[in-house]
């Protein structure tokens, strides 16, 4: 577990990710209505909330897959809301993993992983392959280098997708319901990988419906409701919610 070495904490206490009063609408639909939260280095922030509450949109705004209407987003010192943002620089710092793995089906797992380091960071092919072997080992897929995505189970594909992101050595990882498409047995193996990453000091923002997991891993829980941060705090808020909405949400176990 050493693909990711957290940078020295000497850089002060500036948050790795900060959203400040972020607003975002799709047409007439207000999806983010003044969202603010911060993610400190090495911490895990878990976004929870009902379907449609804006969790995915918030994540996508952080990685500039959506542009915001107003407010500020800062990631590793980069102003994401700046129209002149250097997208490449942002995406070197941020890794994102989606629910539907999105491995490239025509490439082997090794090629999936080496593609970005080689073509974006210009890491020589050979080094990139060594790197691929290392990150695959890290997610427990050391023997799948030469397999194609369709030859892997859903859980294995998702772990490979995580490895692909890790190979770019991001400073923060975003996970959007990465286990939602998986059977319960396969969910566990993916969550274990994420747990290990957290233990290794990776800064993460994740959307998940796995409440037990969230409780165990979260340094901060952000409960979103109707496009707003309705309640936020340490993992304890899941056991003793302050708002009836969160109480109801946790109660339903959704």
Partner 1 sequence: MGLELDFSVVLDRWQSLLDGAALTLELAFIAVICGALIGALGAIGRRGGNVLIARLCGAYVEGIRNTPLLVQIFLVYFGLSSLGLKFSAFTVAAVALTINVGAYTTEIMRAGFDSIHKGQIEAAEGLGLSKAQVYWHVVLWPAIERVYPALTSQFVLLMLASSVTSQISAEELTAVANYIQSETYRSFETYIVVALIYVVLSFIMRLGFWLLGLALFPRRRRLGTPL
Ligand X SMILES: Nc1ncnc2c1ncn2[C@@H]1O[C@H](COP(=O)(O)OP(=O)(O)O)[C@@H](O)[C@H]1O
Residues making contact with Mg ion (CB under 5 A): 56
Burial of residue 109 (number of CB atoms within 10 Å: 0-12, 13-18, 19+): buried
Tokens of residue 83, six digits:
């129209």
User: From the list ligand X, Mg ion, partner 1, none, which binds 57 (C-beta under 5 to 8 Å, kind-based)?
Assistant: ligand X
The residue count for binding ligand X (CB under 6 A) is 11
| String of contacts with ligand X for each residue 14-53, x by CB under 6 A | ------------x--x-x-----------------x-xxx
Are residues 81 and 75 in contact, defined by beta-carbon separation less than 8 angstroms?
no
CA distance 23 to 223: 17
CA distance 191 to 181: 13
CB of 87 to Mg ion, least distance (A): 22
The CA radius of gyration of the chain, in Å to the nearest whole number, is: 18
Of the pair 54, 117, the CB lying nearest ligand X is at 54
User: From the list partner 1, ligand X, Mg ion, none, which binds 26 (C-beta under 5 to 8 Å, kind-based)?
Assistant: ligand X
Nearest to 113 by CA among 127, 93, 98: 127
CA distance 252 to 96: 28
Binding positions for partner 1, 26-65, rule CB under 8 A: 63, 65
Q: Which residues of 126-150 are buried (b: 16+ CB within 10 A; e: fewer)?
A: eebbebbebbbebbbbeebbebbbe
Indicate whether 107 belongs to the interface with partner 1 (CB under 8 A): yes
CB of 254 to Mg ion, least distance (A): 13
User: From the list Mg ion, partner 1, ligand X, none, which binds 94 (C-beta under 5 to 8 Å, kind-based)?
Assistant: partner 1
Are residues 249 and 49 in contact, defined by beta-carbon separation less than 8 angstroms?
yes
CB of 183 to ligand X, least distance (A): 21
Could you list the residues that contact partner 1 (CB under 8 A)?
63, 65, 88, 91-92, 94-96, 98, 100, 102-108, 115-116, 119-121, 148, 150-151, 161, 164-165, 168
């Amino acid at each position: 577990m050493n693909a990711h070495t957290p940078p020295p904490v000497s850089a002060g206490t500036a948050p790795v990710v900060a959203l400040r009063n972020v607003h975002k609408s799709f047409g007439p639909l207000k999806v983010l209505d003044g969202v603010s939260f911060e993610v400190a280095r090495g911490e895990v922030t878990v976004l929870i909330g009902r379907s449609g509450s804006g969790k995915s949109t918030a994540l996508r705004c952080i990685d500039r897959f959506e542009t915001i209407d107003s407010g500020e987003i800062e990631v590793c010192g980069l102003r994401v809301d700046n129209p002149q943002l250097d997208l490449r620089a942002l995406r070197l710092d941020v890794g994102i993993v989606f629910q539907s793995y999105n491995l490239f089906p025509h490439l082997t797992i090794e090629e999936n992983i080496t593609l970005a380091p080689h073509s974006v960071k210009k890491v020589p092919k050979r080094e990139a392959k060594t790197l691929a072997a290392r990150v695959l080992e890290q997610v427990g897929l050391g023997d799948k280098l030469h397999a194609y995505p369709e030859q892997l189970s859903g859980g294995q594909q998702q772990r490979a997708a995580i490895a692909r992101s890790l190979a770019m050595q991001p400073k923060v990882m975003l996970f959007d319901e990465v286990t939602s498409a998986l059977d319960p047995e396969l969910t566990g193996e993916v969550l274990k990988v994420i747990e290990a990453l957290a233990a290794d000091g990776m800064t993460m923002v994740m959307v998940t419906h796995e409440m037990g997991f969230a409780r165990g891993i979260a340094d901060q829980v952000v409960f979103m409701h109707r496009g707003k941060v309705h309640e936020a705090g340490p993992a304890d808020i899941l056991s003793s919610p302050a708002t009836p909405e969160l109480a109801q949400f946790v109660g339903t176990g959704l």
